[in-house]
Amino acid sequence: MSATDQASGHLHNPHGLPDIKPFRLGKHVLERPILLAPMVGVSDVPFREVCLQQGATLTIAEMLPADTAMWKSEKNRLRLRRTAACGPEIVQIAGFDPSMMAEAARLNADMGAEVIDINMGCPAKKVLKKAAGSALMRDPELVEQILRAVVQAVDIPVTLKMRTGWCRAQKNGVDIARIAEDCGIRMISVHGRTRECRFVGEVEYDTIAAIKQSIGIPVIANGDIDSPEKALQVLRHTGADGLMIGRAAQGKPWIFREIRQYLEHGDHARPPSASEISILMQDHICALHAFYGDFRGTLFARKHIDWYSKALPGGELLKSEFMQADCVTDQQDILQNWHREHLSLLTVVAAQTHQ
């Protein structure tokens, strides 16, 4: 990123973190951002709204296929939904054909996207079969063609989500990052594992650090960042310009607020009481019902209750009852009754919520 694209001033911090300047992504100036990762089946509009309310700087929509013929499905139609409540609209596209990717980027820009993110990190088999996602990292020449085509197709920033390489024997993350910078990519998010590793094993923070040192555009570190202390450790180790949180936000969206408080002020944010979690959970489930409708809404709600229940005293009993409910009304009644019946208990044990 050129000097004209950087905002002036340095970011002060109490932890001796790398001295970085805030950077600009389109019309937005970001100071050590904490982003919600794009997760298929998770980072929909309701969840992104919750995470922004809980302190996320930016949220990225679920991966959208570059093949526009697939946009007519109900699943992808919902992924195209726009809402100002999700903050800057960042749309992630996935594909293997440069012209198709460019067209998908153009159409999303026309529909109000403020940033286009290119998926080069997804390790899912159905994505890899189409030579998209992290499979692209096997073909640097195709990577360059795709990145140039998308950057030239739109007037908004284009970012990249990638891994450290295709497999342990082929860790070409530094080379891909240099290609991306040369093509005009404005920010790179790196999940510190290869495609082969998927989501298991140690995260390669050394590789993220090497990528950061090899390019001049902002680098966002991603992978197993699940606490304020871990966030500080990763920033110190990698020198990254920001963090991306994925699975750690599932059932615990307030992790963004906790990390922000720790990095900016050096102390721990007050954890939400169990009663506050219960209210947040109810609001989130109602939003899911409204967004997906009765049938799909009840299915998606079960997944989130599974995660939320882990943060609540007696959560296993709530989860067990909730999973048996098969309609919106029953699910909402269960949450309301549980909150009312357990309110006194929730108040008493609030301090134990995160032990």
pLDDT of residue 255: 97
Q: What is the dihedral of CA 77, 78, 79, 80, to 10 degrees?
A: 60
pLDDT at residue 254 in the model: 97
Domain ranges of the chain: 3-265, 274-352
- Element at 297 (helix H, strand E): helix 294-308
pLDDT for res 129: 46
DSSP-derived 3-state class of residue 96:
coil
pLDDT score of 274: 85
Strand locations in the chain, DSSP E? 23-25, 28-30, 34-36, 58-59, 64-65, 90-94, 115-120, 158-163, 187-191, 219-222, 242-245
Question: HSE of 302 in the Cβ direction (CA atoms, 13 Å)?
Answer: 14
Helix (H, G, I), strand (E, B) or coil at 247: helix
Do 93 and 101 contact (CB within 8 A), yes or no?
yes
Q: From the options 3.20.20.70, 3.50.50.60, 3.40.640.10, 3.30.9.10, give the CATH code of 3-265.
A: 3.20.20.70
* Residue 138: closest CA among 172, 161, 95: 172
Nearest of 262, 265, 172, 275 to residue 226 by alpha carbon: 262
Q: Could you identify the residue written with the tokens 């805030």? A: 22
Taking only Cα atoms into account, the Rg of the chain, rounded to an integer number of angstroms, comes to: 20
State the burial class of residue 316 (Cβ atoms within 10 Å of its Cβ: 0-12, 13-18, 19+). exposed
Q: Burial, 84: exposed, middle or buried (Cβ in 10 Å; 0-12, 13-18, 19+)?
A: exposed
pLDDT for the residue numbered 200: 55
- Residue 275, SS3? helix
**Interior angle at CA 176, CA 180 and CA 68, nearest 5:** 65
Q: Which residues are catalytic?
A: 122
Predicted local confidence at residue 77, as pLDDT: 85
For 59, residues 6+ apart whose C-beta sits below 8 A from its C-beta are 35, 36, 43, 48, 51, 52, 86, 87, 90
Mean pLDDT of successive 10-residue segments in the chain (355 residues)?
38 63 87 92 94 94 90 86 74 92 95 92 50 73 95 97 80 93 97 68 89 97 95 94 96 96 91 90 97 94 95 89 95 92 59 47
Q: Please tell me the distance from the alpha carbon of residue 14 to that of residue 355, in angstroms, as a whole number.
A: 26
The C-alpha atoms of residue 55 and residue 37 are separated, in whole angstroms, by 14
pLDDT of residue 116: 96
